[in-house]
Amino acid sequence: MKFGIPNLVDAIGELPERSNFLFITPPRPEKNIFVAHYINEGLNSQQPAIYVTTDLAPSEIEARASSFGWKFSDYTNNKLWFVDCYSWALEKKPVERKDIRVSGPSSLDDLSLSINQATYAANKLSPVGRVVFQSLSTLLIYNTPGIIYKFCQVLGARLKDSGMTTLFMVEEGMHQSDVLATLEHMVDGIIEVKFEDGRWFISSSQIKSSGKVELRITDKGVEALR
């Protein structure tokens, strides 16, 4: 399946269905744009999507997507399901929504059941779909690495079995090298975004050409420079 960034498929090819990818990105606000492309491409391709969020409210994700012309809110709870592991931290009661709520990033059993609930709904529409998990870095703040390894291993297997292709986001520079190496070992592929000298680049473990591909962020989203 296509990632959704214009011109990118020419460089990295399509992502295989029923696979798990570690999506490594700088801890910058722009990180959301890249995974939003992935979700938007799925929705436009009639593929249901699940967005697990630990560091942004679903309404904020919808608003940011809308700024690029992507109407996530039109699909919410009918083709796009948010698993909200963020709003528990808000002091004020959030606006009533019908998202799947989780009591916090340390409630991994609750989180797993919530993702299963969303997957069940998505599978009613299509045997294949997309998942964004934003992000493992937040889970690693509230849980030990060993617990997260087991959680990811079980969850990743279930998602693949359910026909999902998942991007597990992790922020670079926030974790010990052995933690990142273990996570890389557990997935089918790695996609890494870099911000260097004011320029964006992307590379992949399945990249067709050598090196990395430069990206540009515009008012319509992200595009790969040929």
Hey, what domains does the chain have and what are their CATH numbers? 9-224 (3.40.50.300)
35-49 pLDDT, tens digit per residue, is 999 999 999 999 999
Give long-range contacts, CB 8 A cutoff, 24+ apart: 106-110.
106/142, 106/143, 108/139, 108/143, 108/147, 108/151
SS3 152: helix
What is the spatial distance between Cα 158 and Cα 174, in angstroms, rounded to a whole number? 27
The sign one gets for the Cα dihedral 196, 202, 203, 207 is negative
What are the φ/ψ torsions at residue 108 (nearest 5 degrees)?
Answer: -70, -35
Global pTM reads: 0.94
SS3 137: helix
Counting beta carbons within 10 angstroms of the beta carbon of residue 34, is it exposed (0 to 12), middle (13 to 18) or buried (19 or more)? buried
Residue 109, Ramachandran bin (φ over 0: left; ψ between -120 and 50: alpha; else beta):
alpha
Neighbours of 6 (CB within 10 A): 17
The per-residue pLDDT for 212 is: 85
The per-residue pLDDT for 14 is: 84
Which residues does the chain have with pLDDT short of 50?
none
DSSP 166: E
Angle at 60 between CA 59 and CA 62, to 5 degrees: 65
80-114 pLDDT, tens digit per residue, is 999 999 988 776 555 678 999 999 999 999 999 99
